[in-house]
Structure 1
């Protein structure tokens, strides 16, 4: 099942990529929301091969995730592989400069079941596809407006 949406940001492409590649900041945010995340690679700078293990409650059950950064094309895109016990997903963040101060961000999530029970879950999710799409687009829109607010406040990250 694939979810995709795009948002236009009033931020230059390099600044958007900088904000999106603040992995330490995202780790702290995940921890603040009650999940557990830890970095599993030994890389000293951002790039292909970065990986994390995470644990979070999803739909009432404690789930474990393995995330690996498989593409890192500054400032154009990042691609992550995500694996759980019964699902695999790819998470793509793609940026296109619309002008010097405007960037289009496309975020795509493609989830694939790996077990029979996961296929059953996906079948019921397909019945609620419109609701799930609406929620996905709303969350990405909120995320985009948060990025713009962070940028306006000058909370740009360094070292990405």
Structure 2
């Protein structure tokens, strides 16, 4: 199951990449939402890895995630596993101008167990709603980055 969207951010590519590479900010956001996050490998870029847990549909889910590809200032790929679901989050940045960047985001979920297949199948039933929520979150995060850039410019 795949989700994908894009958003244009009024900020230079290097600034957007820097914001997307601020892994500590993502860790803090997850913790504020009740997730447990532990960095297991602290590499600069590729190789950085985490273990954690979060609540989804009334169950505590375990997650492992690693930055698999990190090509500044244009690409970040994170791969992981959430209880039998292989995940790949891909973020590509394309400069539109000196102060504008297109951010392309895709999330691929691949079940590897029967339980995971049932979970992903149930998500497919709500795909339209999940697509909209995914697009809204990416657009909001892009607007947040643009806001942080406007303050510094």
SS in 2 for 1:53: strand
Matched ranges for 1:1-160 at <5 A: 1-43=1-43, 46-154=44-152
Q: Aligned equivalents of 2:4 and 2:114: distance in 1? A: 25
| C-alpha deviation, 1:118, in angstroms | 1.4
Q: 1:88–1:61: structure 2 CA closer, same or farther, 3 Å change rule?
A: same
TM-score (norm 2): 0.94
Q: Aligned equivalents of 1:48 and 1:109: distance in 2? A: 18
Q: Aligned equivalents of 1:21 and 1:15: distance in 2? A: 10
TM-score (norm 1): 0.90
**Contact 2:42–2:49, Cα closer than 8 Å, also in 1:** no
Q: What CA RMSD, in Å, does the superposition of the two structures yield over aligned residues? A: 1.4
Where does the alignment leave 5 or more consecutive residues of structure 1 unmatched? Answer: none
SS in 2 for 1:40: strand
Q: Aligned equivalents of 1:140 and 1:30: distance in 2? A: 15
| C-alpha deviation, 1:42, in angstroms | 4.3
Say how many residue pairs are matched: 153
